[in-house]
Structure 1
């Protein structure tokens, strides 16, 4: 039998494929042996690669998003005027048994020539810089939390059960006591006298928990961990200044963003890990050009900061529909259908920082005591499928709401309203006063209310 060949339409005739590596990059501009070259990872090697690609009349290039090795190469190629597509490595896997650097770059070039590869999402340069600061800050917070756990361990080994009598050993009361212990104070009553007024435990109970065994080795380790914790807090403050400066730069360079203004939200709870000197309520309102994302119950300042730093305004607009946005976040189920039958509808594996932030916001919505539409939706899913599924479903709904608010300009309307803690206390006080007035039948004259 004669061999038959199946031809496919060439979509990108002047295409190249790059297999990104840690020590070298393999580039293919065709399928023959002389169309493949290896380049180093130094800056002069990257510019030499760009000149070689121009000499071969290449217009569009595809590469895998391998670790962080692609970033410098991507920046050089973009600056030289190439159309660069960064794609997920799972879409460029070669046929089984054909695995080498040369074959990989040729396979990538072939797929891109036939138009079978799609680009991954990349934020704009301003958002990318803000993302770097925010991710570094998150890593510092993680290190500070690890240091806090080690301090708690050495306190326990010293028989100072501070973790039993205070909610957070790095709070106002806890840090004062730890600093005093590291300074050499051993009297339990003197340590207990450092109790802050908001602490629920009495001085007597705190003093009973602070009977030290006097181990010098554990005390030395505690002092070292306290110094590390203070050092990390200073680094976090410096990072907050850089984030504030970058936000001011992004908003200050756009007149349309700068003209928006919103009243502060005094009832919105501020977490201790939230940047202290940044008005994220105003910054987020300006960044998203008049969209109040904090009007959604469960949305915290850290969630809004993650949204600004991970995708930004222009990044959200890149997704054509809310479903595309939820799918990119790995919050939409991946339905697998065969023979007209649904085989699987699991949410795909994988995560990013924005997905984690939305899941945390969904978990906060599930913990609300007052009835709201989102909280009722969470409880319905929780009753049928469990809390894990409820968190994912609510996070997806949050992603859809955010996309519609930012892209379509649709305001978030909660028909039942949502009251913060101070507002609920005020309403409760008013109800109790009215109940007492009705009980004793008091009149306006008896209450001293003068009406005109």
Structure 2
């Protein structure tokens, strides 16, 4: 049976039946993890790979069968997989669902709270997708991050152009469409003449050819051209990485 003191009455306790004998609770951290195998047995382990194996051996020694981990950031993932490989039942708990009573919170207190709740069966396992779904989700998230990075460089390229009064965005809907990239690439390679740049813009663009020439006539500044060249290279790099990700 598990006992818990009643707040406001130090002499009173609540007795609750043990549902999960051999339950442990682990408070996850970036540098170390606190492992509670009973309310009077909490030990700290480093988050290095060797430390994760030490945790597993520690749990085996105390004949732990089931373990509750708090889903703190992404630091839980390696320990979760490793403990499963050792044959433990591991449940992942949403941190918002295991908030302790008010008071000073420490890693030791949190691990003991997890162990107590798990031992009396009050914790529910968060949904865990299968391996294929996890892998696919990681690629999708990485691809999204690359797209966001590319968008940042598009904005930087447009800023460099505007600072030189090259109003390409006023005549093109998409700066990184076929016409826009041809013009930017030519500028990066040293072309400055609007009469040479204008034919690079496709005939399907609605703006008049004269407006396109006027938009490409600006104040060419070395520092802005340098930034444009750098950001164009970074943008092309992200495009290549997106293609590599798509081919995984």
Give TM-score scaled by structure 2 length.
Answer: 0.92
**Structure 1 residues 188-197 or 161-170, which shifts more?**
188-197
Q: Does 2:139 match 1:140?
A: no
Instruction: Please name the residue that 2:33 is paired with.
Output: 25
Matching residue within 15, 19, 23 for 1:11:
19
Report the Cα offset of residue 4 of structure 1: 4.9
Partners of 1:128 and 1:6 in 2: CA distance = 41
1:336-347 alignment, distance < 5 Å: none
Structure with higher RCO (Cα < 8 A, 6+ apart):
2
Q: 1:68 to 1:4 in 2, by over 3 A?
A: closer
The answer on whether the counterparts of 1:46 and 1:73 sit within 8 Å (CA) in structure 2 is yes
Report the Cα offset of residue 236 of structure 1: 0.8
The answer on whether the counterparts of 1:189 and 1:203 sit within 8 Å (CA) in structure 2 is no
Matching residue within 83, 87, 108 for 1:77:
83
Q: Does 2:62 match 1:95?
A: no
Instruction: Please name the residue that 1:59 is paired with.
Output: 65
Report the Cα offset of residue 85 of structure 1: 0.7
Partners of 2:178 and 2:191 in 1: CA distance = 18
Report the Cα offset of residue 5 of structure 1: 3.6
CA RMSD of aligned residues (A): 1.6
Q: Can you give the 5+ residue segments of structure 2 that lack an aligned partner in the other structure? A: 1-8
Report the Cα offset of residue 105 of structure 1: 0.6
* 1:350-371 deviation digits (Å, cap 9, x = unpaired): xxxxxxxxxxxxxxxxxxxxxx
Report the Cα offset of residue 42 of structure 1: 1.6
SS at match of 2:15: coil
Partners of 1:198 and 1:139 in 2: CA distance = 32
* 1:346-403 deviation digits (Å, cap 9, x = unpaired): xxxxxxxxxxxxxxxxxxxxxxxxxxxxxxxxxxxxxxxxxxxxxxxxxxxxxxxxxx
Report the Cα offset of residue 221 of structure 1: 1.0
* 1:416-440 deviation digits (Å, cap 9, x = unpaired): xxxxxxxxxxxxxxxxxxxxxxxxx
1:291-310 alignment, distance < 5 Å: none
Which structure dedicates a bigger proportion of its chain to helix? 1
Which structure dedicates a bigger proportion of its chain to strand? 2
Q: Does 2:49 match 1:43?
A: yes
Report the Cα offset of residue 9 of structure 1: 2.4
The answer on whether the counterparts of 1:19 and 1:26 sit within 8 Å (CA) in structure 2 is yes
* 1:188-231 deviation digits (Å, cap 9, x = unpaired): 12211111132111211101111111211111111111111111
How many residue pairs match? The answer is 240
Instruction: Please name the residue that 2:4 is paired with.
Output: none
1:277-426 alignment, distance < 5 Å: none
Q: Can you give the 5+ residue segments of structure 1 that lack an aligned partner in the other structure? A: 243-452
